[in-house]
Amino acid sequence: MKNKIYLFSILSLFLAFLLIFEPMQAAQLSSTEEKLVYLTFDDGPTPKITEEILDILESNNVKATFFIVGKEIKGREAILKRIYEEGHGIGLHTYSHDFKKIYTSCDAFISEMDQNLTIINEVLGTTLDIKAIRFPGGSSGRLTKAWLETLTAKGYQIYDWNVDLQDGVKGNLSPIELVRNGTKFMDKSSRKIILAHCNTNNQNTCKALPNLIKYYKEQGYTFKIIDATTPPYYYRIKK
């Protein structure tokens, strides 16, 4: 009988210990590692798709970052203005998105970014100094030490991604598949940079977006735009 009472007392003390210390550990984790998500869209602006994405973002009170392709702006100036006026981030994604042109040299690459920025400022009537850039196709296998030094000297910050919807190469994926891809992580960082697209064939991206936003909100992530304060994120430098 005494043994049973002793065992019961030990068990009670152990349970009390868990109740006291487990919430403290959870609080420490949440306070030391903020969960951030950067929702990014490449290749716009495009009619209908970009506009629908903007509608969804507005209804969910979420801001995203749009990596703009300069040649896509003509005739869609109102969409670019809406992106800016609604407080979304704007990044540079070259003017032509033509791999044969932009990757011939670092100077050619920078020229494409400069041309893109000039058009953006002309349309917006601003003098933005946008330094957030994204390599078409990503920096992997393209970014060398010399390129990085040159780009960094000019103030550019490179943003690849660690979450990929794969809607750039597989625009016909179902909304369910896109959400599944959008919750697969390439690394263990608490900072998620999601690659999505707003091309004319990305109708299913629009359909997947509300559930993707819901997932990250339920997981406790804070949505942010990429701006001058956002640490760069790029893949391993090519040797």
Read off the pLDDT of residues 23-66 as tens digits, 9 standing for 90 and up.
322 222 233 479 999 999 999 999 999 999 999 999 999 999 99
Range in 136-140, 164-168, 187-191 with the lowest mean pLDDT = 187-191
- Out of 3.20.20.370, 3.30.465.10, 3.40.50.720, 3.30.930.10, which CATH number does the structure's domain 34-223 have? 3.20.20.370
Residue 44's DSSP bridge partners are none
Peptide bond into 45 cis (omega under 30): yes
Question: Between β-strands 132-133 and 163-164, what pairing exists: parallel, antiparallel or unpaired?
Answer: unpaired
Q: What is the pTM of this model?
A: 0.86
Per-residue confidence band for 104, with pLDDT thresholds at 50, 70 and 90: very high
| Amino acid at position 123, single letter | V
Per-residue confidence band for 238, with pLDDT thresholds at 50, 70 and 90: confident
